[in-house]
Amino acid sequence: MTKTFMAKEKDIMRKWFVIDAQGKVLGRLAVEAAKILRGKHHPLFTPHVDTGDHVIIINADKVILTGNKLNKKIEKHHSGYPGGLKETSYAKLMQTKPEFVVKKAIIGMLPHNRLGSSMAKKLRIYSGSTHPHQAQKPGQWPM
C-alpha cells in the first residue's frame, strides 16, 4: 500500500516570479498569480499547506478590463455605520489605485481563511515597470 505524500514546511523551496501585466486581461492575470501563490504548479502541492511561491506583478496600471467593465463594474465598501456605503467605479480606481484592482482580483481567488492570508502576504504589486526585489533574483513567469 502506498502512502499519500503530504508536503511539510522543510520540503518547500520558495521561488520568486515576475509577471508583466501590460496588455493582460485582469481575470486571466489573476488566475495565473493565484495559481503560483497557492502552489498548484508544484508537484508537491498539498491543499492544507502553503506551498506557493512569491509573485511580483509589474505594470498593474496597464491591465485590461474586457467589455464595459471599466464603466459598469463598481467596488463597494461599507464602513459599518449607517449611510457608510461608498461606491467607486473601476474607471476611477484604475486611474487612482490600479494596484488595488489587481490585488482584489487575486485575493478573491485565494482561500478565505488563515491559509489564504499567508498566501496573500507573498504578493507584491507595482504600477510601474520596476520593482525593488532584484536581490531575490526573480524569474519571469511564462504567460
**Strand, helix or coil for residue 89:** strand
Distance, in Å, from the CA atom of 98 to the CA atom of 53, rounded to the nearest integer, reads 23
| Residues 6 or more apart in contact with residue 4 via CB below 8 angstroms | none
Distance, in Å, from the CA atom of 66 to the CA atom of 30, rounded to the nearest integer, reads 14
Q: Which pLDDT does position 5 carry in this prediction?
A: 85
Domains and CATH numbers, the chain: 14-59+99-133 (3.90.1180.10)
| Residues 6 or more apart in contact with residue 93 via CB below 8 angstroms | 75, 100, 101
pTM check: above 0.75: yes
Q: How confident is the model at residue 96 (pLDDT cuts 50, 70, 90)?
A: very high
For the segment 105-143, what is each residue's pLDDT rounded down to a tens digit? Answer: 999 999 999 999 999 999 999 999 999 999 999 999 987
- Contact predicate 98/127, CB 8 Å: yes
The Cβ of residue 22 has, within 10 Å, a number of other Cβ atoms equal to 12
Grid cell digits, residue 119: 498566501
